[in-house]
Amino acid sequence: MPSYVITEKCDGCKGQDRTACMYICPNDLMVLDMDGSAGYGEMKAYNRDPQMCWECMCCVKLCPQQAMDVRGYADFVPLGASATPLRGTEDIMWTVKFREGSVKRFKFTTRTTPEGSADPLGGFSAHDDINNQALATEPASLGLDAVTTPN
Amino acid sequence: MANFETVEVNTDLLIIGGGFSACGAATEAAHWAKKNGLKIALVDKAAMDRSGAVAMGLSAINQYVGLKDGENTVEDYVRYVRQDLMGISREDLVYNIARHVDSSVHLFEKWGLNIWLDEDGKYVHEGRWQLMINGESYKILIAEAAKNALAEAGGEIYERIFIVGPLMDGNKCVGAVGFSIRENQFYVFKAKAVFIGAGGAVHVFRPRSVGEGFGRSWYPPFNSGTSAYFTLQAGAEMTCQEVRFIPVRFKDGYGPVGAWFLLFKARAISAEGGEYMVVRKEELNNWAPYGLAKPIPANLRNYLGMLDIDSGLGPLYMETDEAIQKIASEFKDDPKAFKKKMKELESEAWEDFLDMTISQAILWASMNVKPEEKHSEIAACEPYFIGSHSGASGAWVSGPEDMDTPYKWGYANMTTADGLFAAGDASGASSHKFSSGSHAEGRIAGKAAIKYIIEKGTEPNVDAAQVEKLKTEILAPLDLYETHKGETTDPEINVNYIMPRQFLHRLQKIMDEYAGGVTAAFKTSKALLERGLELMGLLKEDSDKQAAGDLHDLMRLWENTQRMWIAESHIRTMLFREETRWPGYYFRADTPKMDEDNWKCFANCRWDPNTGEWEMMKKDIWTMPGV
């Protein structure tokens, strides 16, 4: 099953209405089995439609308990391997386990600015002539003196 | 019927979608809205931080023109797209996006995207137009800027609200309707102008993997043709609905091949070792002039590989080991430098997947593949509708005001429906935008939409009866399920209704078998298409017998309907265009050659909401003078 929840680690996001995985899944696949009536465990999350799971790992990356991972699609992925992320504020670390047992670790930058800080104008000066071909931060944000026009 | 509260949102500009084009629209429109005291509401069926095609991240930016460094000209890009799409391109739209895309890229960098830099501090190019990035959080950054922009402008964001279709006042778009997928709420958005940027369409055709692997589509499974359905239902003219895209990627995992071909310069070979781009070169003569110019169009590159497959020369392989060894061999006399280079290349190869197609990394690990030691299979995927990439489908939109073309009837990126703007996958005939170009096009459309509101905006005239009718229709499947579910011991199997997944399988089988899907090796014909249309007719009649047990399934159900509509426009347009122009995307076996005399034109279509009739029309191609 594509993304899955580890029973002993999941705490249903500490009794809130919505879990982090429910919040983030772009395909609305994650569900909290609040009272256990769906059969997945009381206050445990589950993926309601593994067949529609893109394995984007947005859920895995966001889970505050690291209670989620992905098991490659049964149709064509042999067992025994995994790629597990650990996402920080400016980088992400991946642990890739091979079927034959070896492990590789990678670390990649994710952003060069503090979380939340994106300035919509990017620090470029913006103009207010809506009739001009230049978009708000142009031409400065193009790195040019003027927007290119056809000859 | 469960009692659904109707929530009404009144705004000036409604932005439908939360992906790259919608975020571009929001970021730009917010600036102009603020200056003019206007309101913006954005609605996303998921959470903006990760919604849309860039949920996982990307490992490259595929459109950067590099105007400030004098590397390329805007006209160069116009020529590139014209060539790749076999002559079918709205050169004015491509020009407009290409002259603005660099500023989107520079903004991304300011927001926190790390673009690879070389020792001289210049961007590392994957290819002529492509830049390498550390893009795992690409969507988060772009969404952050859009959210901050909207907050500064007093805008509103609605997440987990699924938009079904438009509200129209004659030919004017005055809003949209949909429902919450968290609460029992029906939403009515009323606006002076509407921007649609809700992605392309996936799962219209049966995919190669049909079990769990159904979810491993190349473009995301949550792109369901919302944009195309919206513009079709609005009665807007559509273009290039026949131009689906067939990506050739690492098999099954669908990992990207761009870095391998362009950056690592890997070769693709057949099982007997022949490089199909070399061995099959003669075939390109049949597709002149495009087959004889560089770069060779993507669909023709596909086609040469398909010819090898058809002749039994599969599997096809990407020679990753050969490519890596060749690059590292430069350092073979210095063991330390060699080891360092190999480590670098290994990290780049794995990051390529981990930043945007994690499943391919898992697949490699599960097969014990180390790219420097062993090659990997590549294969053609099932068809996708993706006007932002190498497909071209989408709404027919008005061009930029400072270009003298036959394609202007209003504001930049306005469809033929008044006040309805489209960008990204929602706007057609302007291929090769990718993430950055979609964002730039969103900015263009967002600004134009605000200008439209300032100059022409009027209070939306929404017919309450129309809203009530839509509410009943949209929520009816819940009632249908409740009414009949107890009649059999298994609520999934009932003669009174069809469940969303079951309906989807039926649609996909029709498309796969009759409209040139994977099992048909992308081949179709007039007879097959007409038969497909017959079966589609029966499916359409049954589409109001879809049932849903909960809000999630209700969304899945309406996504299916959206898919069905883009599917029909696709079949009708393939029928209309009596030639084969993109043999690597689809092949009309009854008209197997390209017919430049009769078909070097756009094949447009429009569904008339008043009569229910489809109109097919040819539109002339305008070529930029001197380009």
The mean pLDDT value for B253-279 works out to 95
Residue B1's pLDDT is 57
Residue B605's pLDDT is 98
Whether residue B435 lies in the annotated active site = yes
CB contact under 8 A, B213 and A92: no
Task: Sort out which chain B residues have CB atoms less than 8 A from A4's CB and list them.
Answer: none
Task: Sort out which chain A residues have CB atoms less than 8 A from B28's CB and list them.
Answer: 135-136
User: Catalytic residue among A7, A23, A54, A125, which?
Assistant: A54
Amino acid identity at A55: E
Convert the pLDDT of each residue in A80-136 to its tens digit: 999 999 999 999 999 999 999 999 999 999 999 999 999 999 999 999 999 999 999
The residue with tokens 């099959």 is: B280
CB contact under 8 A, A141 and B113: no
Convert the pLDDT of each residue in B78-87 to its tens digit: 999 999 999 9
CB contact under 8 A, B215 and A75: no
Contact B243, B584 (CB under 8 A): no
Residue A102's pLDDT is 97
Task: Pick the residue of A16, A24, A53, A56 with the most B CBs within 10 A to test the interface with B by mutation.
Answer: A56
CB contact under 8 A, B136 and A108: yes
| Chain B: residue whose CA lies nearest to A82 | B362
Which of A58, A120, A142 lies at the smallest CB-CB distance from B68?
A: A142
CB contact under 8 A, A26 and B55: yes
Convert the pLDDT of each residue in B169-196 to its tens digit: 999 999 999 999 999 999 999 999 999 9
Residue B45's pLDDT is 98
Residue B209's pLDDT is 96
A vs B: CB pairs below 8 A? 245
Which of A74, A126, A150 lies at the smallest CB-CB distance from B95?
A: A150
**Tokens standing for A22?**
């429910």
Count of other CB atoms within 10 angstroms of residue B408 = 15
How many angstroms separate the CA of residue A55 from the nearest CA in chain B? 6
Query: Model pTM?
Result: 0.98
d(CA B35, CA A10): 47
Which of A97, A122, A136 lies at the smallest CB-CB distance from B365?
A: A97
pLDDT category at B266 given cuts 50, 70, 90 is very high
| Chain B: residue whose CA lies nearest to A17 | B182
Whether residue B534 lies in the annotated active site = no
Task: Sort out which chain B residues have CB atoms less than 8 A from A146's CB and list them.
Answer: none
Q: Residue B26: what are its φ and ψ, rounded to 5°?
A: -65, -45
pLDDT for residue B9 is more than 90 = yes
Share of chain B above pLDDT 90, in %: 98
What average pLDDT does chain B have? 97
Convert the pLDDT of each residue in B584-608 to its tens digit: 999 999 999 999 999 999 999 999 9
Task: Pick the residue of B223, B343, B359, B401 with the most A CBs within 10 A to test the interface with A by mutation.
Answer: B359
Which of B110, B136, B362 lies at the smallest CB-CB distance from A77?
A: B362
Convert the pLDDT of each residue in A4-47 to its tens digit: 999 999 999 997 778 999 999 999 999 999 999 999 999 999 99
Contact B33, B11 (CB under 8 A): no
User: Catalytic residue among B59, B62, B413, B438, which?
Assistant: B62
Residue A16's pLDDT is 77
Convert the pLDDT of each residue in B199-251 to its tens digit: 999 999 999 999 999 999 999 999 999 999 999 999 999 999 999 999 999 99
How many angstroms separate the CA of residue A91 from the nearest CA in chain B? 9
Angle between helical axes of B526-542 and B500-514 (0-180°, round to 10): 170
DSSP A96-148: EE-TTS-EEEEEEE--SS-TT---TTTT------TTSSS-TTTTGGGTSSS--
Convert the pLDDT of each residue in B412-434 to its tens digit: 999 999 999 999 999 999 999 99
pLDDT for residue B3 is more than 90 = no
Whether residue B531 lies in the annotated active site = no
Enter the ipTM: 0.98
Residue A1's pLDDT is 60
How many angstroms separate the CA of residue B473 from the nearest CA in chain A? 23
How many helical (H) and strand (E) elements, i.e. helices and strands, does chain B have? 17, 22
The side-by-side arrangement of strands in the sheet containing A103-109 is A82-87, A91-97, A103-109
